[in-house]
Chain A
């Protein structure tokens, strides 16, 4: 299986920095927003975005983690794979919540995340930020902030590696056997 690097460490940093600026711009500051990352990689990306926004605005925005395992419509609990832990220790009622994920593909994860989010509270608005949009949507979902659009075919796979859990920063594309 051949892997091809599409984004390197620097490109990921620049993409996130741009998203952070766009978030601040679109929401006219950072006073009424909250970041919620989708477990797993979205959670680490949202922490990075929080740090970037803090540098730009001098405001620490609340950031949480949302596990959507039990909201998926395609669940298979395999062996001992630990479901992630949701951790939202702030009230986002009346706030703009920015859901953060690494890859946007069919839109099913985003759909599940929206449902899960509503079970935790009532945000005034929800926006979606993703590092990579690879297309092939199956649901009417559109991201508000995109790091990079990568046209793919269905038998290709996008992998996002992050320093925090994978020991490196990169986005790769590889084809999978049918």
Chain B
């Protein structure tokens, strides 16, 4: 039984297989009127969300539905789960209903591991605390591959609130897997005191624009700040944001910009840039659906019986 808790659960071969499935789903379904294939007919995908999320939940729910799986969504506040039923019991209960795969979003790092260790069904991590968001990393890499035709060797700058970002953590892992050169840039208060050895810290955004192939902006996660963590928006805008002036240079260099969304428009990136042809922000959303279809198909098809006869 395979799980997807962190990017480390995947080999490059797995990632390529998921991308190939995403390619096929995209090409077969995106442009036609009936946006559904019967691949996972009769399977049930449960979505357990204990942290607010619309985008990821909708993306997973649609991915499951377009593969003809049934979906059931459980939203719970973390506190009630903590006081009431344990995660293990929730999982065992779902298992009795015969669900085939669980997608879980949880505010606490390691929550998906508690369920995957039971071995009841494949578990897909849709974000746990600040730790990991592997499906976002996969869809980001896939978007890069669609846009650039390759991933290997690209220089990617990840800019902004690294400290609170599970997206950054997971992207480090997948970009490393593809042999990218990873750079980070952000306010000193938002760069963790520890950074992986292969991640290079840049001095300023001009350096990123001049030297990198792709700029990945992160959302400032104000909701995760504690009293010791500070950010000054004026300074942030002046030094790290993609302003209109900087956007001119991006156009000149024909760079692409990405953001996991939702964008704080006018803070991390100005609207003009978000909505431009240089922005991959909405392609990330679109490809995200097909990548998640690929993930579900990949994890679930392995459970089916091997049937040799192709006729």
List residues of chain A with CB under 8 Å of any chain B CB: 67, 69-71, 73-80, 82-83, 85-86, 103-106, 109, 115-116, 118-120, 134, 158
Contacts and interface: CB of A to CB of B under 8 A. Distances in A.
Given A76-B301, A80-B17, A83-B24, 14 more contacts: A67-B24, A70-B37, A70-B38, A74-B304, A75-B39, A77-B301, A78-B306, A79-B13, A85-B24, A86-B28, A109-B311, A119-B34, A119-B37, A134-B311
A104 B311 contact: yes
B72 interface: no
Of A116, A119, A120, A158, the most chain B CB neighbours within 10 A belong to A119
A38 B67 CA distance: 21
B305 A74 contact: yes
A104 B311 CA distance: 7
A116 B301 CA distance: 19
Nearest to B41: A73
Given A119-B32, A119-B37, A83 B20 contact: yes
Contacts of B16: 80
Given A71-B39, A115-B38, A119-B37, A76 B307 contact: yes
7 contacts: A67-B28, A73-B41, A76-B306, A79-B13, A85-B27, A105-B311, A119-B34
Contacts of B32: 119-120
Interface in B239-280: none
Interface residues of B, number: 28
Given A70-B39, A109-B311, A77 B28 contact: no
B297 A77 contact: yes
Nearest to A72: B39
Interface of B: 13, 16-17, 20-21, 24-25, 27-28, 32, 34, 36-39, 41, 67, 297-298, 301-302, 304-307, 309-311
Contacts of B306: 76, 78
Of A70, A103, A116, A118, the most chain B CB neighbours within 10 A belong to A70
A166 B187 CA distance: 59
Contacts of B28: 67, 70, 86
B304 A75 contact: yes
A86 B39 CA distance: 15
A76 B304 contact: yes
Contact of A75 (B17, B27, B301, B311): B301
Contacts of A116: 37
A70 B307 contact: no
B37 A83 contact: no
B225 to A, nearest CB: 43
Contacts of A70: 24-25, 28, 37-39, 67, 297
Given A70-B39, A71-B38, A86-B28, A158 B13 contact: no
Nearest to A74: B307
Contacts of B297: 70, 77
Which are the 5 A-B pairs with shortest beta-carbon distances?
A105-B311, A70-B37, A119-B34, A74-B307, A77-B301
Nearest to B20: A82
A73 B43 CA distance: 12
A69 B24 CA distance: 10
Contact of A158 (B302, B305, B311): B311
Contacts of B309: 105-106
A105 B308 CA distance: 14
B18 to A, nearest CB: 10
B16 to A, nearest CB: 6
A53 B237 CA distance: 67
A82 to B, nearest CB: 6
A77 B311 contact: no
A88 B202 CA distance: 48
Nearest to A105: B311
A118 B32 CA distance: 11
Contacts of B36: 119
Contacts of B307: 74, 76
